Every structure is written in C-alpha cells, then in structure tokens.
Structure 1
Amino acid sequence: MLYVLGVVLFALGIGISVALHEFGHLLTAKAFGMKVTRYFIGFGPKIWSFRRGETEYGLKIIPAGGFCDIVGMTALDEVAPEDAPRAFYRQKTWKRVIVLSAGSITHFLIGLLVVFVAAISLGLPNSDDQPIAGQIAQCAQATQDPVTGKYSDCTPSDPAPAKAAGMQVGDRVLSVAGRPISTYTDMVNITHDAKGPTPFVVERDGKQLTLTIDVVKVQRILDLTKPLGANDPTGSVGAIGMVRSNTVTYGPIAALGATGVFTGQMFEAVWEGLKALPTKIPALLTAIGGGQRDPNAPVSVVGASLIGGQAADLGAWWFFVILLANLNFFVGVFNLLPLLPLDGGHIAVNLYERVRDQVRKWRGKPAGAPVDYLKLLPLTYVLVLLGGAYTLLAITADIVNPIKL
C-alpha cells in the first residue's frame, strides 16, 4: 500500500512541478505585458478548461507535460494587428530571456524549497559521515556472515551496550575514550580497539553528556574495502550496538547553509550526469535485454516514480523528497541546454540576434532580420527524434528491469 502511495505521490509531485514550470512562463509573460492565450497541463484532447480574461486555462488527457501559448513567439507567427505591440518577439531581449528562463528558474526554486524543508524535517543525507546515532540496536550482534555481510540475530544473551548506557537516536558522538572524533568511521575504529567500560561523550539537545558504555567483543569482517567472499577473514572487535544515521537534521538557520551546500553538490552531480548521458545507452540496452540494471543509468519519470514508491515503502521519505528535488534540478538544467526545441535553444537564438544586431550597429548597419526558424527545423527534428528515442529506451528499461533500492 505504501509503495502504491509513494508512486502516486511522486507522479503527482512531477505533475505539480510541470504545472509550475509553465506557470513561471505565464506569470513572467503577463508581468511584461505579453498576451498569453492558453495555459494547459497535458496534451491531446481537452478534458476541462475555463477562461479568465484573455487566457484559457485547462487540462488535457495525456499527462506528459504542458504548454503556455504566448502570442508571437517568433517573427514567423501570425499575429493580429491589435496584438502586435504585445507579441513576444516585439519585446526587449532581456524580457524574452527572462520569460524563456522562468520555467527552469521555477524548477530550481522548487528544488531549493524541497531541500530546505527536508533539512529541517526529514534531514539531508549524511554524506560527510557525521557520528550521529540513527538507530540504537537491540544488541551488539555476536557474529557477521563473511559471505553476505549480514549480522546474526539478537538473542537474549547478547548484550546491548549502547541501549543499556542510555544512548538515544540523534545523539552526536564527540569523543570515545578521551579521543575526539569527527566522523562515524573514527568512532568505529576507536571502538574496535576498546573493551569494557569506555566513556563516550555525546551531544544531545545542545548539551554534552558522558555515557559509560560497556564495549563488548564480537566477530566482524575485518576488511570491508573489497567484495564479500567466503574466505574473508573475521576477527574480534569492540562494538556497542549503534548504527549511524543516514540523515542529518538542521535548525532553520543552519538549514540555509546546509541547503546551499547540498544544492551545490546536486547541481554538480546533475551536470556530470548530463555529460555522461550518451555513454549510458549501452547500459540501458543491457537492462532491456535482461542484464543487471546499472543503478547509475538514467531513469525516466516512470522509473523515478517507481523508485519513489520503493522509498516510501522502506520508510525512507528523506530519499523520496531528495529524489524529487534532484529531478527538478535535472529538468531545470536540461531545459537550459542551447538546443531547440528546449527553452535554452530559444534563449540561444534570442541572444544571437541581440549580439548580431549590436555588432551590425557598431558597423553602421541596420538590425538584421529575425532568425528563420524554418531553416532550423531539420536540426530540431533530429534532436526531437534522438531525445524521444532516448526517453523511450529509459522508459522501457524502467518497466522491464526497474532499478531496485
């Protein structure tokens, strides 16, 4: 039930993002006095609509995007004489660029808001290995399977050192046995060498507490830097029965900085992912053919929704919202690529005209004619065909061999 709910909610989140993308175009166009005739979510036959002023708003049957009709998007469009002063192509270049960029800017704002809300509620990924308790185990499991890496089940005789000492979820460990630590790995390494009552200084609700934890010796895999195997050596190490938190929650002020840092990391990952898109085609073909699905391969909105459902089913709502934010950042950046029919392609054309006319002005020549979009149609068709084929590959892979968390 949670899986289905997660899929539906993620798909709804995508739909809202698309609607707000188009609303960004609508709002900025109207703010600059341009005439907007239609604002629709979806394509195909109309389901429902209403008119307010000069604009018709509505829904169409195929939920695969949306559109905002602005009069005179190019100089080739037919425009009624009374609407000519308000035509898009008659406006200053900076206004046109803002309107064209508004969709992507809206995605960026959605992503930032989602990340900020996650930072103060569900938490952001603990990517820098902060020593925060995410789970206090019922015991320090006595053994670990060298083949699977799984721990043995707790038994009544297995001690629970962290639980017995009063450690709580959210505690941040500051030092172990008098040695300051900055990462969870530091804590584990020091704990492995400890035995018996050991002081752990933790921060809880802004206050420092010293907990004396009776470290016990258990059997663990000694080298986790290589793939698991039957011959992996195990040995006796110290353990307390605490699991690191996957997320870090921030206060409203600290969340501002954390949101900025994490958003920067996501933008970097999005850019690297965009550059790698062409190299991921073989991985998609392999997945469609029944091979192992590469978790780093691209996913469509279908695949993203299925992953969102899995996250909900696992209770990992922080991952759900971060995935939604990441999708918004990806769409926002992708849409700004200088390729038609993307908004970035239209921005490139408008900026080219502005630079060209400025150069002509310096040379004492009149402004040039508007770019003939008809001459760009062959390239546009090629890009649409390639983009459509890539999307179809991703959707097919997501259906026949979806990524599993």
Structure 2
Amino acid sequence: MVALLTALGIILFFVGLLLSLAWHELGHLATAKMFGIRCTQYFVGFGRTLWSTRKGDTEYGVKLVPLGGFVRMAGMIPPAKRAPDTSGKPMSRWRAMIEDAREASQVDLEPGDENRQFYQRAPWKRVIVMAAGPGMNLILAVILFTIILMGVGLPQSTTTVDTVAECVLPADSPARDCPDGAPSTPAAAAGLLPGDRIVEVGGTPTPEWNDANTAIRDSVGPTEIVVERGGETVAFEADLIENDVVARDSNGDIVFRTDADGEPVTDEQGYQIPDTQTAGFLGITFAQERSPLGVADTAAYMGDAVVGVGRALWELPSKVPGVFRAAFMGEERTVDSPVGIVGASRIGGEVLAQPIPITDRVVFLVNMLAGVNLFLFAFNMLPILPLDGGHILGALWESVRRRFAKLFRRPDPGPFDVAQMMPVAYIVVACFVMFSVMLLIADVFNPVRLVQ
C-alpha cells in the first residue's frame, strides 16, 4: 500500500508540474494572439514530439522531455539593420551565433506575416506577452495558497492536551525513552491525561494556547491546573519545575539558534535547530487543529513566501557545489538542497504515503505546488535571456531609447536587436542544462528525503 501511495503521489505531483508549465505557456499564447502575433507552436516539454495537433496557425503538442515548455512566435528577433557582409571575410564566432539565431527566428515566416511578428508590436505589448507567462504562475500560486490558508487553514495549537510525557528530559535531549531513575513529569504525577482542555493555570484563565503556554512557563512550584474533562471541570495540583524547554518569542513562535553572524544553525540534514531556555515545565504537548486565516494573515504568509523564494534564488549559485557533490561524490543532501522535477515529484510521493491525516497530505502537496509556481514566476522574471525577464528588459530598453530619441528629436532607433544578446543566452542555456542534469542525477541516486 505504501508503494502504491508513493507512486500515486509521484504521478499526481508530476502531472501538477506539467499543468503548471502548460498554464505558464498559455499566458504567452493567449496574449500573443490577442495582439495579433502569429504563434506557430505551443508545446509542453522539449525534444522529440510525442503528440501534436494543429488548430489554425498553431500546432499544439507534448514533447518527450518534460523540463519546460515554449510558445514559438513569428519574428521574435528583428531583421538585421545592415546588409549581410558579402566580402567573403569569415565571421567571428559571436557574429555567427547572432546571425544563426536571427535566421532561425525568420525560418517560420510565411506570406501574410509581414505585420504579425513579435518585434513589430509596441514595447508595452511585448512586455505584457512575456510577463503573462510568469504572471499565470503567480496567479495559480495565489489561488492555491488562498485555498489552503483561507479554506483549509493552518495547524494552530489549542489548549487541549495531546500527549503527557512520562519523565523529565531536557528539550535538546537525544533520548526518546525514559532512562532509569528519571523523575516523572509534573503532569504525569498530577494525573493529567490526553484530551484534557486546560482552562486555568495558577488562577489565570487560559482561553487561548498562548495564554496556557505562557502561564505554564512563568510558573514554578505547586500550581493549580484546572482542566475540562468529559464535560466537567477538574482541578489538579501540579508541582512545576524548571527545565530546558524550546525557546519561544512573545507571539509563541519557536526561536531558532543562530551563529555569531546571525545565520541559522542547522543539523546534518539541514533542519534548523530550535534554541532552548530555562522555564517552567509541566510535561505536556498541546494538540493542534486547522484554523483558516483571515485576509491580512494570508497576505502576510504570501509575502513571507515571496521573500523566501527571493532568498532561495539569491542563494541558488552557492548550492551548486553541494548538488555536484551529492550527484557525483555521494555527499548526503540537506533538506534545503535544490530539487528538480524528479526530486519534487519524489518528495510528493513520500509525503502522500505517510501515515498522517489525508488532509495534511493533500495540503502539503498543494502547498508545495503553490511554492513551485511562485518559484517559476520569480525565476522567469530574472532579466536575462532566454528567460522571459530578458525579453521584458529588452522591450523596456527599446521604449526608453525611443522616448529619448523623440525627446531630442533624433531618428527612431528602431526595435532593440535582441539577437545581440543571443551568445549570452546560449551560455545561460548551457549552464541551465548542466545544472538540470546534475539535479536529475542527484534526485535519482541521492534524493532529498523529508521523511527519514
């Protein structure tokens, strides 16, 4: 059954990724057609064509390698401003790459395309066409996050007792079982049971979890604990002690350890290590239940997610050596290691197979898919070719040049020749392909495992 659920999770998440890629390209296709640009192809994947069909001017299909997708538009690169050199002098490699790219862009042109080419559209229209793809990923991420946060909700701690520890252990103790001679926890000695709802600690009402948690941490010595059990109110006398517990801030959020530079301290698997503090100790954990967030909290959560994606993009180059060592030298991967489509799908399969409530499993998969779409939005908006952001930058630069020319009454400089940047685009593509291959090898033979 576990193997079946794992396979199902891999398939479902993989399909979700393919649909996200198709959704991205649909943004380009729809806006390009809206502005009268001829689109010759709309494909998900690269390489050999597995299936295709033609409708109007456009061929729609799926290719063998599901690592992206594309919409092929007529005239992505403008024609050369000067006539080709016929002197017979050999071209430089840079010039040869530029002209090859220009020629490839013109190969699909047909009679009637004289005014249906991408470069002929106003810069603002080209910005819309190129931003529409990442924008679709952003829209999908917002929809998925909204469903999770405002519909299903996030786990929130309650005042109900979930577990009662048998013995006293420090928060950072590696032991899982009670060692010989370990004293009983105040909760176990007092007779508290899972399912009790704490309503008062030391005479202080505790309507919310943070109230109960704060009151317990601030209490040491004999303390009255009032709980609701089976519809009745029952009072217990617990002798609270001081112990090392997980540190929390004023909002009840866990405080993680940092080094001298303020960077998070992680364990061997890459998980952040909680800080500890000495406080009152009862020896219980609180149960959690999902609670929908409001609009403000949802917006704040999404804002934090955007910041997290931006940080991940900034740190991505520093992760490349680790991926290389994981792929070819057997180094264990950490939980914050980059993953590709295969790795993400594998994580989805492992999560779906876990013995946790089905709601939690589905929410995790949807949340991960939303995060992937947010990453696709941010990554594709980077201002480098061949990414969408590179084309957007070219259109904006063309608009600036034309405005300055008009302001100073100079001749129109014409469209920005994006072909001049194609050698750089080839380098970016080569780096992306090599990194993707490394990720694939690491994801297959040395995968990231969230569940140990």
Q: Post-superposition shift, 1:198?
A: 1.8
Aligned-pair identity in percent equals 31
Q: Please say if 1:198 is aligned against 2:236.
A: no
Contact 2:51 2:63 in 1 (8 A): yes
TM alignment of 1:67-106, pairs within 5 A: 67-76=70-79, 77-78=105-106, 79-106=109-136
1:84 counterpart SS class = coil
Q: Please say if 1:222 is aligned against 2:225.
A: no
Contact 2:245 2:279 in 1 (8 A): no
Q: Post-superposition shift, 1:133?
A: 6.0
Structure 1 residues without counterparts, runs of 5 or longer = 168-172, 202-208
Radius of gyration: which is bigger? 2
* Equivalent residue in structure 2 for 1:239, among 265, 283, 288: 283
Alpha-carbon distance between aligned partners in 2 of 1:186 and 1:391, rounded to the nearest angstrom: 49
Q: Post-superposition shift, 1:300?
A: 1.6
Contact 2:159 2:208 in 1 (8 A): no
Alpha-carbon distance between aligned partners in 1 of 2:46 and 2:387, rounded to the nearest angstrom: 17
Q: Post-superposition shift, 1:379?
A: 1.2
Alpha-carbon distance between aligned partners in 1 of 2:401 and 2:227, rounded to the nearest angstrom: 68
Name the residue aligned to 1:335: 380
Q: Post-superposition shift, 1:188?
A: 3.5
Contact 1:160 1:241 in 2 (8 A): no
1:62 counterpart SS class = strand
Contact 1:341 1:380 in 2 (8 A): yes
TM alignment of 1:112-151, pairs within 5 A: 112-124=142-154, 131-132=157-158, 136-137=162-163, 139-142=164-167, 144=169, 147-150=173-176
Segment drifting more, 86-95 vs 266-275: 86-95
Q: Post-superposition shift, 1:223?
A: 4.8
* Equivalent residue in structure 2 for 1:394, among 426, 439, 451: 439
* Equivalent residue in structure 2 for 1:312, among 352, 359, 373: 352
Matching residue's letter, 2:117:
A
Name the residue aligned to 2:138: 108
Alignment RMSD, CA only? 3.7
Matching residue's letter, 1:97:
V
Describe the superposition over 1:341-385 as per-residue Cα deviations: whole angstroms up to 9, x where unpaired: 001011111111111111111121111143333332221121112
Q: Please say if 1:268 is aligned against 2:310.
A: no
Matching residue's letter, 2:157:
P
Describe the superposition over 1:236-260 as per-residue Cα deviations: whole angstroms up to 9, x where unpaired: 93234534x3x74316xx2x33332
2:292 counterpart SS class = coil
Q: Post-superposition shift, 1:98?
A: 0.6
Contact 1:197 1:213 in 2 (8 A): yes
Segment drifting more, 336-345 vs 307-316: 307-316
Alpha-carbon distance between aligned partners in 1 of 2:45 and 2:418, rounded to the nearest angstrom: 25
Name the residue aligned to 2:319: 280
Name the residue aligned to 2:339: 299
Alpha-carbon distance between aligned partners in 2 of 1:293 and 1:134, rounded to the nearest angstrom: 37
Contact 1:49 1:57 in 2 (8 A): yes
Q: Aligned in 2, Cα 1:57/1:152: closer, same or farther, shift over 3 Å?
A: farther
Matching residue's letter, 1:148:
P
Describe the superposition over 1:102-145 as per-residue Cα deviations: whole angstroms up to 9, x where unpaired: 11000001111111111244433x5xxx53369833x5434548
Name the residue aligned to 1:19: 22
Aligned length: 378
Alpha-carbon distance between aligned partners in 1 of 2:52 and 2:136, rounded to the nearest angstrom: 23
Q: Aligned in 2, Cα 1:376/1:222: closer, same or farther, shift over 3 Å?
A: same
Q: Aligned in 2, Cα 1:400/1:220: closer, same or farther, shift over 3 Å?
A: farther
* Equivalent residue in structure 2 for 1:8, among 7, 11, 20: 11
Q: Post-superposition shift, 1:95?
A: 1.1
Alpha-carbon distance between aligned partners in 1 of 2:440 and 2:391, rounded to the nearest angstrom: 27
Name the residue aligned to 1:206: none
Describe the superposition over 1:260-280 as per-residue Cα deviations: whole angstroms up to 9, x where unpaired: 211111000011111111112
Contact 2:202 2:223 in 1 (8 A): no
Name the residue aligned to 1:205: none
Describe the superposition over 1:317-358 as per-residue Cα deviations: whole angstroms up to 9, x where unpaired: 222221111111111101010100001011111111111111
Contact 1:144 1:150 in 2 (8 A): no
Alpha-carbon distance between aligned partners in 1 of 2:414 and 2:71, rounded to the nearest angstrom: 26
1:40 counterpart SS class = strand
Q: Post-superposition shift, 1:180?
A: 6.4
Contact 1:112 1:259 in 2 (8 A): no
Q: Aligned in 2, Cα 1:159/1:74: closer, same or farther, shift over 3 Å?
A: farther
Name the residue aligned to 1:161: 192
Contact 1:141 1:241 in 2 (8 A): no
Alpha-carbon distance between aligned partners in 1 of 2:193 and 2:203, rounded to the nearest angstrom: 17
Q: Aligned in 2, Cα 1:399/1:179: closer, same or farther, shift over 3 Å?
A: farther
Matching residue's letter, 2:344:
A
Contact 1:214 1:240 in 2 (8 A): no
Alpha-carbon distance between aligned partners in 2 of 1:274 and 1:183, rounded to the nearest angstrom: 38
1:381 counterpart SS class = helix
Alpha-carbon distance between aligned partners in 1 of 2:439 and 2:370, rounded to the nearest angstrom: 20
2:282 counterpart SS class = strand
Structure 2 residues without counterparts, runs of 5 or longer = 80-104, 180-187, 248-256, 258-265, 268-275
Alpha-carbon distance between aligned partners in 2 of 1:388 and 1:160, rounded to the nearest angstrom: 61
1:16 counterpart SS class = helix
Q: Aligned in 2, Cα 1:135/1:22: closer, same or farther, shift over 3 Å?
A: farther
